[in-house]
A and B are shown apart, each in its own frame.
Chain A
Amino acid sequence: MSSNALPQSGARPTIRLFDDNTIAASEQVEASVWGWLPVLSVISASALLLLAVANSRARLGAPDAELLFWVGLVGLVAPNALRLFSSTAAGVERVGLIIILGVGLYLVKVLHSPVQFTFYDEYGHWRNVQNILETHRLFAENPFQPIWAYYPALETVTTALVGPGGLSTFAAALLVLGATRVVFVVALYLFFEEVGKSGRVAGIATLLYMANPSYLFFDSQFSYESFALPLAALVLYGAIARRNAPKNARLGLSIAVVLGLMSLMMAHHLTSYITAILLLGWWLISVMRRHEWSERLRPEGIVMLAVVLNVAWFVYISIQTLGYLAPTLGGGLRELISMIAGETTGRELFRSASGDVAPLWERTVGFASVGCILLCLPVGLYQIWRQLRHDPVALLLAAVAMAYPGSLALRLTSAGAETAVRSSGFLFIGVAFALALAATTFASSRRQHWRWYLPLATWAIVIFVGGVIGGWARWARLPGPYLVAADTRSVEREGIAAAQWSYEVLGKQNRILADRVNRALMTGYGEQRPVTGYGDHLRSSAVLLSTQLGSRERGILKAGRIRYVVADQRLTKALPVLGSYVERGEHGNTNYVAPLDPAALSKFDRVTKVSRVFDSGDIVIYDVGALVRDP
């Protein structure tokens, strides 16, 4: 039954959620709708076990950990991919496979950090949770990243499980993100199914969406985008399904869309704006193509609501978002233009700020992944035009997919590389749909032997592996021994203990200055109030990085009313893996060529009015309050 089919008179219509063959009367058929799902779930779980071993081996610094990681990851994706390409899988099975893949890939991140937050952004959102629990209000100041205070949706749900539920913030965060991941993949599947009119296309498209560079780690962390994307998927599914839904489903879908839009507005700025833009685009394409609505439900109401909600939130709550987004989005574009003009050279791909170069195979697969997408994208776009050009949503997805090559250019710039990777979470909605149509063109449903699907599954795996390589730095994919200024790899026992000590002995909310990683730990575990360049508009990094505590540095201390300075001696032992010790731009636009001068940190010992209140070997905490109080 097509989703466009009108219900027969007198019959109770049902939205097409599964392929027809999922509805079966006999128990034998009931059992068959599960297909390979039970076996594949065991294979997927076994792959997760392998990944767990890889993580544990990596913590010991074992060289085989990386191989185990990739074998586990491919073992998780490949069998499910092979089955999703098959035309014989039933709807229930496809949805099950998608859920297993979606949750399985989320667990990859959980296995990476199974006992505590280790991703940088997570500490800032943890601070939002602490603020809500303490003030019993939303929007309390978040010094870690001020703008995050205005998008507290993720934290509100987490707080509900922490306060009434009695769970730890970390456990609550894992559960909330796990739940959102299920919503994400299922809603995405249903959305693709609505547009593509095929469960097979929907399954493949959802699989390919998971190959986007930010999916595996970035969109699995305790961060607002991880929460917002599933809501966006729910809104898109609800809005699209609503247009041709039978009468008995319209109210429910409308409520889901309205609730989704309202909470999305509180969840994440860009996701909310892009969702509104997508809805607006859908409506505009409909108008331009003089689309005849087959039902009475037109999208104007939803589009209007999305726009009004976003504008209202922006104007009344989060006007600072503009100042936050503009440099991020504009920086990459400016650098790209100056690169084209020959004023600057581009970023060297597959090379970290500390000079670490990815191995040849990673570079090869990374390029092959992009090649696989770019080669098949025109085929998919042609299929959209050929099969679905009557559908404004399909055309919208085609337009989104066409923006993907442009985003690749941003990857060549230092400022735009992160934007390019993050934009993939949105662009891949179009890219994945177009590629899925291309894939089904190559392997029609008449070819039912798995050998027909093997090349396609391999193609999908190359795209997926390339996405992981391009989306998350090699050193960050697995835990391991300490690295300098490397976020997840810099979170270890001594730093956490120092932050916990600050909470217990110094109390909360002291204004502190620390390097990037200790700042995160002091914010999360210590509940201190970090002073930063981006939050306080001070060049506070200069205080830590200068070898002198001169009048300029003292002026910054006073202006920031800084009470404590955290000096981590390990910063003097290696180059910063992320390119900066304290904040981006601290060293101009160039990379360090030598580690931080030890004199930069020991200078505090030479100032008579400074107290050295804490020493754990690598980490020393200075009380500079007397300098700040000086007239």
Chain B
Amino acid sequence: MIRKSYDLVVVIVLAVAALVAIVAMDSSQAVRMLVAVPFFLVLPGYAIAAAAFLPGAIAGAGRIACSIGCSLAVVVLATFALTWTPWGITTTTITALVGAITLGSSLVALVHRRRQGDVQIGPSRARPNLRQGALFSAAVAIAACAVAVARTGAMEQPATPFTQLWMVPTGKAAVQIGICNMEPATTTYGLQLTIGSRVVEEWPATQLKPDGCREIAATLPVTDDFAGTVEAVLRRADQPGVVYRHVQLAYQGQKGK
């Protein structure tokens, strides 16, 4: 039985391995990612096709379409079923349900094949020779290179440099101010916090590397019923006379901000 149904044995082993990996491993582990993809996209459909088609009834292209297509459908319908359960759609429930469908279908297929007698279920008879295999491998490698080239180009795409300045209230008389440097070079900034025309606090030289951020917690010298505007003004050290960024909070008296 195993000789003629080795494909189902592979399905069962992969499904069990995926179940163990998903339950036991951290989600950031590559192994979990590698086993999860066939577990959801191929194995359920393959097992169902194996159970539903009698031996020899389908091969090649039809099996590809049915395996992947039915896998997608199984995951969709399993998720739909889970949404009505008290547990909902979680890593555990969807993995368990899809795993159960896959293993159940595989077992049905094994029994099915055993009853059908000695029908050889083997790999496709159209195996590429060495030269053809080398060409296919080269094609995959070139396609992978293409994706790598495109990814590199996308990540290095020139973009307009910018600096973020933000200010949000954190209490009745306190604010949080943030500066993020998204410029290509280290930049020195001067920050001023004012209430009306009065400077209440100043940070004259804040140096930030590219992609560097600084957050400042500031306390405002105001009472709870303060009504007015608190403004933060950011200047670049190389252009001290120019307001580079500015943010402001409007306070509404008793109601606060």
Which residues on A are within 8 Å of B, measured CB to CB?
A: 12-15, 17-18, 22-25, 27, 30-31, 33-34, 37-39, 41-42, 44-46, 48-49, 51-53, 55-57, 59-60, 91-92, 95, 107, 110-116, 132, 135-139, 152-153, 156-157, 159-161, 163-167, 175-176, 179-180, 182-183, 186-187, 189-190, 227, 230-231, 234, 237-238, 241, 246-249, 251-252, 255-256, 259-260, 262-263, 266-267, 479, 481-482, 492-494, 497-498, 501, 505-506, 608-618, 623, 626, 629
Report B94 CB to chain A, min CB distance, Å: 6
A616 to B165, CA, bound (A): 6
With A138-B89, A186-B64: A59-B153 Cβ-Cβ less than 8 Å: yes
Report A125 CB to chain B, min CB distance, Å: 14
Whether A613 lies near B69 (C-beta < 8 A) is: no
Which chain B positions have C-beta within 8 A of A95? 60-61
Interface residues of B in 128-144 (CB under 8 A from A): 128-129, 131-132, 135-136, 138-143
Q: B58 is contacted by which of A25, A52, A252 (Cβ under 8 Å)?
A: A252
- B48 contacts chain A at the CB level, 8 A cutoff: yes
Which chain B positions have C-beta within 8 A of A237? 65
Which chain B positions have C-beta within 8 A of A135? 88
Whether B68 lies near A182 (C-beta < 8 A) is: yes
Whether A31 lies near B129 (C-beta < 8 A) is: yes
Report B31 CB to chain A, min CB distance, Å: 10
Residue of A nearest to B19 (CB): A164
Q: B98 is contacted by which of A13, A160, A482 (Cβ under 8 Å)?
A: A160
The 10 closest A-B pairs by CB, nearest first: A56-B153, A165-B36, A248-B54, A136-B88, A166-B27, A252-B53, A38-B135, A45-B142, A252-B52, A41-B139
A-B pairs with beta carbons under 8 A, tally: 350
Whether A161 lies near B37 (C-beta < 8 A) is: yes
Report A275 CB to chain B, min CB distance, Å: 13
Which chain A positions have C-beta within 8 A of B127? 27, 30
Whether A159 lies near B245 (C-beta < 8 A) is: no
Whether B57 lies near A249 (C-beta < 8 A) is: yes
A selection of 22 A-B contacts at a CB cut-off of 8 Å is A12-B55, A33-B126, A34-B132, A38-B135, A49-B146, A52-B153, A55-B150, A57-B153, A59-B156, A114-B147, A156-B79, A157-B75, A159-B89, A175-B41, A186-B64, A230-B69, A256-B69, A267-B76, A492-B159, A493-B182, A612-B247, A612-B248
With A136-B88, A138-B80: A114-B160 Cβ-Cβ less than 8 Å: no
With A183-B68, A497-B180, A626-B257: A31-B132 Cβ-Cβ less than 8 Å: yes
A178 to B165, CA, bound (A): 40
Whether B94 lies near A160 (C-beta < 8 A) is: yes
- B196 contacts chain A at the CB level, 8 A cutoff: no
Which chain B positions have C-beta within 8 A of A110? 147, 150
Whether A165 lies near B74 (C-beta < 8 A) is: no
- B110 contacts chain A at the CB level, 8 A cutoff: no
Which chain A positions have C-beta within 8 A of B154? 55-56, 59, 113-116, 479
Interface residues of B in 115-174 (CB under 8 A from A): 119, 124-129, 131-132, 135-136, 138-143, 145-147, 149-160, 162-168
Which chain A positions have C-beta within 8 A of B193? none
- B197 contacts chain A at the CB level, 8 A cutoff: no
Report B137 CB to chain A, min CB distance, Å: 10
A15 to B56, CA, bound (A): 9
Which chain B positions have C-beta within 8 A of A187? 65, 69
Report B45 CB to chain A, min CB distance, Å: 8
- B77 contacts chain A at the CB level, 8 A cutoff: yes
Report A256 CB to chain B, min CB distance, Å: 5
A238 to B55, CA, bound (A): 18
Whether B164 lies near A615 (C-beta < 8 A) is: yes
With A60-B158, A615-B165: A165-B37 Cβ-Cβ less than 8 Å: yes
A52 to B89, CA, bound (A): 38
Which chain A positions have C-beta within 8 A of B33? 165-167
Whether B246 lies near A612 (C-beta < 8 A) is: yes
Which chain B positions have C-beta within 8 A of A31? 128-129, 132
Which chain A positions have C-beta within 8 A of B223? none
Which residues on B are within 8 Å of A, measured CB to CB?
A: 22, 26-29, 32-33, 36-37, 39-42, 48-49, 52-62, 64-66, 68-77, 79-80, 83, 87-91, 94-95, 98, 119, 124-129, 131-132, 135-136, 138-143, 145-147, 149-160, 162-168, 176, 178, 180, 182, 229, 245-250, 252, 255, 257
Residue of B nearest to A238 (CB): B66
Which chain A positions have C-beta within 8 A of B153? 52, 55-57, 59
Which chain A positions have C-beta within 8 A of B252? 609, 626
A497 to B164, CA, bound (A): 9
Residue of A nearest to B37 (CB): A175
Which chain A positions have C-beta within 8 A of B180? 497, 501
Report B248 CB to chain A, min CB distance, Å: 5
Whether B149 lies near A56 (C-beta < 8 A) is: yes
Given A160-B94, A252-B53, A493-B160, 15 more A-B residue pairs with CB atoms under 8 Å apart are A12-B55, A15-B62, A49-B142, A115-B151, A157-B75, A189-B61, A190-B62, A262-B73, A262-B76, A479-B157, A492-B159, A494-B162, A611-B257, A614-B165, A616-B164
Residue of A nearest to B96 (CB): A164
Q: B79 is contacted by which of A34, A60, A159 (Cβ under 8 Å)?
A: A159
Whether A30 lies near B157 (C-beta < 8 A) is: no
Whether A137 lies near B247 (C-beta < 8 A) is: no
Report B116 CB to chain A, min CB distance, Å: 9
Whether A613 lies near B167 (C-beta < 8 A) is: yes
Whether B56 lies near A14 (C-beta < 8 A) is: yes
Residue of A nearest to B252 (CB): A626
Whether B41 lies near A179 (C-beta < 8 A) is: yes
Chain A CB within 10 Å, residue with most, of B153, B163, B229: B153
Whether B146 lies near A41 (C-beta < 8 A) is: no
Whether A30 lies near B125 (C-beta < 8 A) is: yes
Whether A157 lies near B164 (C-beta < 8 A) is: no
A269 to B88, CA, bound (A): 24
Which chain B positions have C-beta within 8 A of A506? 168
Which chain B positions have C-beta within 8 A of A616? 162-165, 182, 245
Report A139 CB to chain B, min CB distance, Å: 7
Whether B53 lies near A42 (C-beta < 8 A) is: no
With A34-B128, A55-B150, A249-B58: A183-B69 Cβ-Cβ less than 8 Å: yes
With A52-B153, A505-B178: A251-B73 Cβ-Cβ less than 8 Å: no
Which chain B positions have C-beta within 8 A of A186? 61, 64-65
Report B80 CB to chain A, min CB distance, Å: 6
With A139-B83, A506-B168: A618-B139 Cβ-Cβ less than 8 Å: no
Whether B41 lies near A613 (C-beta < 8 A) is: no
Q: B138 is contacted by which of A42, A252, A266 (Cβ under 8 Å)?
A: A42
Which chain A positions have C-beta within 8 A of B88? 135-137
Report A198 CB to chain B, min CB distance, Å: 15
A237 to B65, CA, bound (A): 10
Residue of B nearest to A180 (CB): B72
Q: B150 is contacted by which of A114, A266, A626 (Cβ under 8 Å)?
A: A114
Report B109 CB to chain A, min CB distance, Å: 11
A428 to B98, CA, bound (A): 35
Chain B CB within 10 Å, residue with most, of A113, A153, A481, A482: A153
Which chain B positions have C-beta within 8 A of A56? 149-150, 152-154
Residue of B nearest to A118 (CB): B154
A614 to B64, CA, bound (A): 51
Q: B76 is contacted by which of A139, A182, A263 (Cβ under 8 Å)?
A: A263
A45 to B42, CA, bound (A): 24
Which chain B positions have C-beta within 8 A of A114? 147, 150-151, 154
Which chain A positions have C-beta within 8 A of B22? 164-165
Which chain A positions have C-beta within 8 A of B29? 166
Whether A614 lies near B52 (C-beta < 8 A) is: no
Report A573 CB to chain B, min CB distance, Å: 12
Which chain B positions have C-beta within 8 A of A263? 72-73, 76-77
